[in-house]
Structure 1
Amino acid sequence: MVRVTVWNEYRHERESEVVAEVYPDGIHAVLADVFEEAGHEVRTATLDEGPEHGLTEKVLAETDVLTWWGHAAHDEVRDEVVDRVHEHVLDGMGLIVLHSGHYSKIFTRLMGTTCSLKWREAAERERLWVVEPGHPIVEGIDEYIQLEETEMYGERFDIPQPDTLVFSSWFEGGEIFRSGCCYRRGAGNVFYFRPGHETYPVYYDEDVQRVLCNAVEWAAPTDGPTPAFGNADPIEGIDTSDDRTVH
């Protein structure tokens, strides 16, 4: 069981009838149901949930994996909260960034780039090709996932080279895109997954749900030795009388 916190901006669903028809209780509610059905312990948090956007120190301390969906209000996320999330990722919390979360403060901070891309809303077909079939995130997935109506994201995607690229998308209009990107930042695993525009029912797709559940398990921290930093005593017996330090 993984402790998952599903964070959602939760603005479009309350302000647009079109989006509310697709996600009447919010994108976070759909994702929470998916993770709960997979047997995980799930909580949700949203942008307007208090001054800390529902991401208090207590919440993050009790989170193994944080999923992040944002779009219209990236700038409203307080820098202090971004700092807190960033610290927890470096300390080992997993982070799954979804769709337009590529422009979120936390993702651009972790990537160190603009994370800009091409885009088009034309309800076009997308095929997400599995390019790393042995990766745990694609367990149970066929050679590709086909989505009939999506928003196009196209290259160039201004991100660092992924540690592992697990999906590469083709769109009906001809573009391609790196749609499933894995990174290691500090002790934390980070996965960017492209599908999920708010006006299309992408998160109801069973293959997309399977990828997200796989990603939660992949991103979750594992028990291992805690690294030690700074000045260190010798493990073996050596002469430590040299005092030429300038520190």
Structure 2
Amino acid sequence: MARVTVWNEYRHERRSEVVADVYPDGIHAVIADALVQADHEVRTATLDEGPDHGLTEDVLDDTDVLTWWGHAAHDEVRDEVVERVRERVLDGMGLIVLHSAHYSKIFKRLMGTSCSLKWREAAERERLWTIEPSHPIADGIGESIELAETEMYGERFDVPAPDSLVFTSWFEGGETFRSGCCYRRGSGKVFYFRPGHETYPIYHDDDVRRVLRNAVDWAEPGDGPTPTFGNAEPVEDIDTSDDRTVH
């Protein structure tokens, strides 16, 4: 069981009837429900929860995996909070970046690129091909996931080459996209998962919900040794009398 914090802007749902019809209690509530079904310990946090956006030091210290959904208010996330999240990822916290959060401050900072892409809203069909079926995130998923209505994201996706690519999307309009990208940053794992536009019921889809649960299991910190850095004593017996150094 992982301790999961589900973070969401929670702006569209309060301002648009179209979005509220799909996610009346917020996108975060639907994602949280999917993770609770896997017996994870889940809390939610939103952009307008105080100056820390619900992501205080105590909350992050008590979080094994953070999921992030954002779209319209990336610039409103305080840099201090972004840096706090980045440090926790480097220390081992998992991060799952969803849909339009490709353009969030935290994802761009961890990737070191613009994270830009092509997009189109036309309620078109998407097929996510499982191209790494042995990966834990693909557990229980068939050869592909079919989504009847989605927003198109197209290449080029300006991110570093992923350590593992689990899903690749094809869209009805002809474009393709790397939709399931795994990275390691420091001691933490990062998974970018493309599906999730706010006006379509993507997070109600059983396969998408399974991917989210699998991703949390994959991103949860392990029990390996804690890495050490800096000046180190030798493991073997050596002559340390040579003290030539500029440090």
1:97-131 CA distance string (max 9 Å, x none): 00000000000000000000000000000000001
| C-alpha deviation, 1:88, in angstroms | 0.1
Deviation for aligned residue 1:226: 1.0
How large is the Cα RMSD of the aligned pairs? 0.5
Counterpart secondary structure, 1:165: strand
Match for residue 238 of structure 2? 238
Aligned to 2:5: 5
Aligned equivalent of 1:225? 225
Deviation at 1:245, TM superposition (A): 1.4
Matches within 5 A, 1:141-152: 141-152=141-152
2:56 corresponds to? 56
Equivalent residue runs for 1:73-152 within 5 Å = 73-152=73-152
Q: How does 1:164-243 map to 2 (within 5 A)?
A: 164-243=164-243
**Aligned partners of 1:191 and 1:235: how far apart in 2?**
36
| Structure 2 Cα separation of the partners of residues 54 and 117 of structure 1 | 29
TM-score, normalised to structure 1, is 0.99
Structure 1 runs of 4+ off > 2 angstroms? Answer: none
1:23 offset after TM fit, Å?
A: 0.1
Equivalent position amino acid for 1:82 in 2 = V
**Matched letter for residue 128 of structure 1:** L
SS across alignment from 2:88: helix
Structure 1 residue 143: deviation in Å? Answer: 0.2
Residue number in structure 2 paired with 1:158: 158
Deviation at 1:80, TM superposition (A): 0.2
Q: For 2:162 and 2:237, how far apart are their aligned partners in 1? A: 42
Q: CA offset at residue 164 of structure 1?
A: 0.4
Alignment match, 1:37: 37
What amino acid maps onto 1:20 in structure 2?
Answer: A
Per mean C-alpha deviation after superposition, the further-off stretch among 23-32 and 237-246 is 237-246
Instruction: Indicate the residue corresponding to 2:24 in structure 1.
Output: 24
Q: Which amino acid aligns with 2:185?
A: R
Length-normalised TM-score, structure 2:
0.99
User: Which segment drifts farther, 218-227 or 229-238?
Assistant: 229-238
Alignment partner of 1:29: what SS?
A: helix
Matched residues in 2 for 1:212 and 1:70: separation?
Answer: 16
Identical aligned pairs, as a percentage? 81
Structure 2 unpaired stretches of 5+: none
| CA distances 1:148-188 after superposition (whole Å, capped 9, x unpaired) | 00000000100000000000000000000000000000000
Secondary structure of 2:132's aligned partner? coil
How many residues were matched structurally?
247
Q: Distance in 2 between matches of 1:157 and 1:235?
A: 44
Aligned-partner Cα distance in 2 for 1:175–1:240: 60
SS in 2 for 1:114: coil
Residue 246 of structure 1, CA deviation = 1.5
For 1:173, the aligned partner's letter is G
Distance, in Å, in 2 between the alignment partners of 1:242 and 1:190 is 42
For residue 114 of structure 2, give the secondary structure of its aligned residue in structure 1: coil
The DSSP-based 3-state class of the residue aligned with 1:182 is strand
Residue of structure 2 in register with 1:47 after alignment: 47
CA distance in 1, matches of 2:49, 2:207: 30
